[in-house]
A and B are shown apart, each in its own frame.
Chain A
Amino acid sequence: MRVALGFLFTLAWAVYLGGALAMELVWRPVQRDIPPSQIGAMCRWMGRRYRWLGLGALGLAAVTWLAWRGLGGTVLLASRPAAAVPPAASGWPVAAMVACWGCLAALVLAMGVLLHPRSHARWRAGAHAADAAAARRRKVRALRTMDVLLRVELAVALSTTALVVLPSGPRIGWAA
């Protein structure tokens, strides 16, 4: 049971963090050489799919971690000396990890539900010039905010990974 939970948690976290890293280190630089209209067409589709992938991975990580806590959150490794097994998870690393998880979920939701649809908003051909300009401004603002939030999300995800592997942390990472 512990192996299954550890496997699912690691997989979920890897999918979430790896996806964020791929978007930042692969997709963002590639965008520079593509016409904006085509970036828009791809981003619209990718945003929808990535939202579910990100939320699904975060959800699975939370469920497996809670189940792990339910089992007592201890690791008993038959093959390792007792000295190598740190004391039970408690204190600030766990609280910080929960806060980071909440922050990540909020960021993914904010981008997926609010900012992403706004960044792809269209205005009618016959719309008043002032309305079209306001919609355009909202779109640009949404794109800029998403740009900043994506980087914040990656920084928080990388920090959360450090909390996961801390010996006094949630103890469900590789260093458990």
Chain B
Amino acid sequence: MTATWVQVLAGYLHLLAVAVYVGGSIAMEFVLGPAQSYVPPAQAQVIGQRSADRFLVLVWGALALFPISGLLLFFSLGDQHTLSGMQFFTTRYGQTLLGMIVLWAVLVVNGAIITFVLRPRLAQRASAQGGGSGVAQRLEVMQSAVKWVSRISRIDLGIAVVIVLLGASLAYGDGIL
């Protein structure tokens, strides 16, 4: 009975994390992002920064929830026997799970790059310090950061969809890899 409720809770949290990451990214990328072109650029920048700051909190929450709920789900389903010894590397189930873990790690690394490298660059304000060339240089750095954030976000969305596919193959089959 307890195992069943743990399974339900783990399944709920896992699905919620998927929804926040995948659905949230799609809403940010294809609804909120393009809508910013309907307001003046300075206002769009403020909206972009604030919405990205808030969304990053959700993203990190979802990334933390994936392994926690995933482990809960794994143990509550009684799947431990399927991955004892070298089975993690030799069975389709184990390889698929390993693939999901590797892709999750890629999402964490990409999230860290966006949060700790690219976002601080975007938060810089172009001041008159250093003259005209200094301002132009900062703007160039910011534009480059915007491009990289956009690229990485889309790559992350693609990776997350692949993770959902791998997860579905584990829930409804015995793996896909």
Contacts and interface: CB of A to CB of B under 8 A. Distances in A.
Interface string A20-42: 11110111011001110010011
Nearest to B62: A18
B31 A53 contact: yes
A127 interface: no
Contacts of A45: 34-35, 38
A3 to B, nearest CB: 5
A163 to B, nearest CB: 10
A14 B78 contact: no
A77 B164 contact: no
A84 B51 CA distance: 42
Interface residues of A, number: 56
Contact of B31 (A19, A30, A33, A174): A19
B36 A22 contact: no
A49 interface: yes
Interface stretch (B10-18, B100-108, B110-118, B126-134): B10-18
B31 A50 contact: yes
A34 B164 contact: no
A15 B150 CA distance: 19
A25 B58 contact: yes
B8 A165 contact: yes
B161 interface: yes
B18 A14 contact: yes
B58 A21 contact: yes
For chain B, the bracket of interface size reads 35 or more
Among A15, A22, A166, find the residue whose CB has the most chain B CB atoms closer than 10 A.
A22
Interface string A118-160: 0000000000000000000000000000000000000000100
Would you call the interface of chain B mostly helix, strand, loop, or mixed? helix
B7 A167 contact: yes
B63 to A, nearest CB: 14
A41 B168 CA distance: 39
B168 A21 contact: no
A16 B47 CA distance: 23
Given A15-B26, A53-B31, A175-B7, A38 B39 contact: yes
Given A22-B32, A33-B46, A50-B31, A77 B174 contact: yes
Contacts of B50: 30, 33
Interface in B133-177: 161, 164-165, 167-169, 171-176
Nearest to A175: B11
A80 B77 contact: yes
A13 B22 CA distance: 10
A75 interface: yes
Contact of B82 (A46, A79, A86, A166): A79
Interface string A35-75: 10010011011100110010000000000000000000001
Interface of A: 2-7, 10-11, 13-23, 25-27, 29-30, 33-35, 38, 41-42, 44-46, 49-50, 53, 75, 77-81, 83-84, 86, 158, 161-162, 164-167, 173-176
